């Protein structure tokens, strides 16, 4: 079962989010979700171009910008933000 095209973060419940580009092999956690639910989970579409995410705007830490190439795995700090907030951090 091929996934929809485009880089996305799928919300698979208590296990958080799983990134998948719709082309490569489906990650195991996402495969288990699909087997149980028989439908694709809600997702956050990822930017298609290189992006700088901004963390710390809420005053919880020093403001910093984190670059992402627009493909490949998201930086760990961005994934932590998504798991805590349910959305991508602001973009610079």
Tens-place pLDDT, residues 17-46: 999 988 889 999 999 999 999 899 999 999
Write down the pLDDT at residue 90. Answer: 94
CB 31 within 8 A of CB 20: no
Write down the pLDDT at residue 33. Answer: 95
- Report pTM: 0.82
Give me the number of domains the chain comprises.
2
Same domain, 12 and 29: yes
Same domain, 67 and 86: yes
Please state, for a pLDDT cut of 70, what percent of the chain lies above it.
90
φ, ψ at 82 (rounded to 5°) = -60, -45
Buried/exposed code over 46-68 (b: 16+ C-beta within 10 A; e: otherwise): beeeebebebeeeeeeeeeebeb
Same domain, 40 and 51: no
Same domain, 42 and 54: no
Q: How many CB atoms lie within 10 A of CB 76?
A: 9
Q: Which domain holds residue 65?
A: 47-92
Same domain, 25 and 59: no
């Amino acid at each position: 079962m091929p996934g929809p095209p485009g880089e996305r973060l799928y919300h698979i419940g208590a296990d958080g989010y799983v990134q998948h580009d719709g082309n490569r092999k489906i990650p195991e956690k996402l495969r288990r979700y699909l087997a149980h639910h028989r439908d694709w989970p809600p997702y956050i579409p990822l930017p298609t171009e290189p992006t700088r995410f901004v963390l710390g705007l809420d005053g919880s830490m020093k403001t910093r910008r984190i670059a992402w190439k627009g493909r490949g795995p998201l930086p760990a700090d961005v994934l932590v933000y998504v798991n805590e907030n349910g959305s991508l951090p602001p973009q610079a």
